Amino acid sequence: MRNPRLVRKYGDEGCFMRTLIKCGALAVVLLGGMSVMAADAKENWDKECSKCHGPDGKGQTRMGRQSGAKDYTDPKVQAEMDDAKAVTRIKEGLKENGKEKMKPYADKFSEDEMKALVAHMRAFKK
């Protein structure tokens, strides 16, 4: 049975179904890409950041305690953190009193990967 409103709007049911299938396929691709980004951020965190910041973001590793890594599970630390500055910190690193506290990662991560790492840091907030 043909729905007259759909026929007027989309031409016929077949066209409507093709449009619906295309939209569904696009949603799957977009959502799949987002989960890959999340996986990449965790993988990058585990590979490069957890040495100091810890796998849980608390900074309670030997290197993290030595360098004064912040506890990203602390809501106060999260509230003080600015995303753009965090991306810049990842990109440029951190030096205090001429001593490197965090090396720069501009050569290891793209801008999008750095933003994904900041989003990953945000997920540590309790």
Residue 53 lies in a domain: yes
Of 11 and 63, more confident: 63
Residue 3 lies in a domain: no
Q: Please tell me the predicted confidence (pLDDT) of residue 13.
A: 54
Of 9 and 34, more confident: 9
Residue 61 lies in a domain: yes
| Domain of residue 73, residue span | 37-122
What percentage of the chain carries pLDDT values higher than 90?
A: 62
Question: What CATH code is carried by the domain that includes residue 60?
Answer: 1.10.760
Mean pLDDT of the chain: 82
Residue 9 lies in a domain: no
- The total number of structural domains in the chain stands at 1
Please work out, in degrees rounded to the nearest 5, the angle formed at the alpha carbon of residue 58 by the alpha carbons of 83 and 103: 60
Q: Which pair of structure tokens corresponds to residue 124?
A: 């540590």
Of 13 and 83, more confident: 83
Residue 1 lies in a domain: no
